[in-house]
Amino acid sequence: MILTVTLNTAVDLTYRVPALTPHSSHRVTQVIERPGGKGLNVARVLAALGHETVATGFTGGATGAVLREQLAATPVRDELVETAGPTRRTVAIVDTATGDTTQLNEPGPAVTAAEWTAFRTRFTALLDGAAAVALCGSLPPGIHVGAYAELVRLARAARVPVLLDTSGEPLRRGIAARPDLVKPNADELAQLTGTRDPLRATREARGRGARAVVSSLGPDGLLAATPEGLWRAAPPAAVKGNPTGAGDSAVAGLLSGLVDGSPWPERLSRAVALSAATVLSPVAGEFDPTAYEELLAQVRVTADTA
């Protein structure tokens, strides 16, 4: 079983419009609603790959009830903890003429001390039997900035491999707790290390405590600093579409490879192919299975000797 944690879940709304023009009214041509938040996106992709997946985190209010109803229609097991405050919504506006996406993210409900204690109890119990755990996304109001570091330590104490995918101070503190893997994007990596040189920043991030660091470089693919060496993985060509959820699909690919015991080149190929197939999907945060299989055979993985 793979456990995913989404402390700031959301109901994701995707609006498709012929063209997005500021200061004007728009006629929406399509509306898509689904459970969201980074960890739930990861869980959905893992389930589509055939992994038994459990999702925990927080949800509440009328929006939370909608989220749970939608999650029940997926293979992902719901172990979310109820909050008094309502779950947030996120809105992605897709300009179908250009393929560009504008994202609007609400902050999420304030989590009380009692609710955090209830979550820690649930999380600790779920670690028993977990093959790996992913800690994903932003922290909702009320959660202390060292929360992910605390959860990393709990996972390590239970001898469960842990992946951390967050940003800012939660990433800085979480990486010091020595997770098995962190997956920052280029901006998050620069904020953490103070340098925009991908190779230098990835190496420095690993030196801060993570066993491995896989940096997302957007259309250029992934750069990985691992105990087995440095690797670069890139799609065969640039793909155009909606990038929403592409990074979460990459996390799912890395976790899938970890629990399967695959060597690093295979893990990275899986992550890049899933990410590109998500960009190509007409639904934000989903991946195109046919495109995934085709891309998997074409991803370029090279050892970096720099």
Q: Active-site positions?
A: 248
> On the CB side of 236, how many CA atoms lie within 13 Å of its CA?
11
**Residues contacting 243, CB < 8 A, separation 6+:** 101, 218, 278, 279
Which residues lie across from 11 on neighbouring strands? 35, 89
Give, to the nearest 10 degrees, the angle between helix 186-193 and helix 198-207: 60
Tokens describing residue 34? 């689904």
Tokens of 182: 């962190």
- Please give the Cα distance from 300 to 201 (Å, whole number): 22
Of the candidates 76, 75, 88, 82, the one whose C-alpha atom is nearest the C-alpha of residue 36 is 88
Residue at token pair 């995913």: 4
The partner residues of 234 in beta bridges, in order of sequence, read: 300
E strand segments, 137-189: 162-165, 181-182
Helix (H, G, I), strand (E, B) or coil at 238: coil
The DSSP bridge pattern shows strands 212-216 and 222-226 to be antiparallel
Which DSSP letter does residue 283 get? Answer: S
Q: What is the DSSP string of 101-135?
A: EEEEE---PPPPHHHHHHHHHHHHHHHTT-SEEEE
